[in-house]
Amino acid sequence: MDSERKTALITGASKGIGAAIAIQLAKDGFDILLNYRKSHEQARGVAAEVEAAGGSCHLLPFDVADAAEVEKQLAPFLDTPPFVLVNNAGFTADSLFGMMDDNSWRRVIDVHLNGFFNVTRTLLPRMLRKRKGRIVNISSTAGQTGNPGQANYSAAKAGLIGATRSLAVEVAKRNILVNAVAPGFIETDMLAGLPVEEIAKSIPLGRLGKADDVAHMVSFLCSDKAQYITGQTFSVNGGIFTA
């Protein structure tokens, strides 16, 4: 990768919001480290779009919940750590709380919260030495309001907001800015099977969001225009929730 260009690592970026963020940051002038777990064909498609947008793209297939694998896969990039880290990896395993099995609870927490911990802890010491960087954690409106059937997901996303606030205070003096973005109902695979037309009626703007809506907020937070913003959570939800 061109040493004069900044690099961004986006986790869970083979589709949906993560893919949109990777492509947008490539348009902004970043080279991309694109993490995903197993969607190889989709990841290659995103890589092609990143390259068409002017960035280079290195594919990193690993599970963010596996601490040892995270350290192994990121080791080659630690001498020149990415300027931007976007913790986006996640999924849902919905169930009413009283019927939720152990795996559904633990796996969602592992990917969202432990994944954030594993990846950020690996990169942060090098970012601190460089005295610069941006960390953006993708939370959710569910982490701000709660959703029935999503106690695991809501807990994980609320945890990311708390971690964002604490980490921002810890690293501010080293010029590392840490913020969270909380998307509402966004047109991705995660809405499959839901009554989207009814959901849209409950949103003040009258429509679902697009992955690019979230990517544009992340783009701003990674830009020079956001140099005095840290420890904040930005809602991208069409007005369905206001803090």
Q: How many CB atoms lie within 10 A of CB 38?
A: 10
Residue length of the chain: 243
Distance CA 196, CA 191 (A): 8
**Is 228 an active-site residue?**
no
Full DSSP string of 57-126: EEEEE--TT-HHHHHHHHGGGSSS--SEEEE---------GGG--HHHHHHHHIIIIIHHHHHHHHHHHH
Catalytic residue among 153, 183, 211, 213: 153
175: its two tokens? 């010029």
Distance CA 8, CA 48 (A): 16
Max CA distance (Å), the chain: 53
**Contact indicator for 88, 24 with CB cutoff of 8 Å:** no
Distance CA 241, CA 243 (A): 7
* Helix/strand/coil percent split, the chain, to 5: 50, 15, 35
> What residues are annotated to the active site?
153
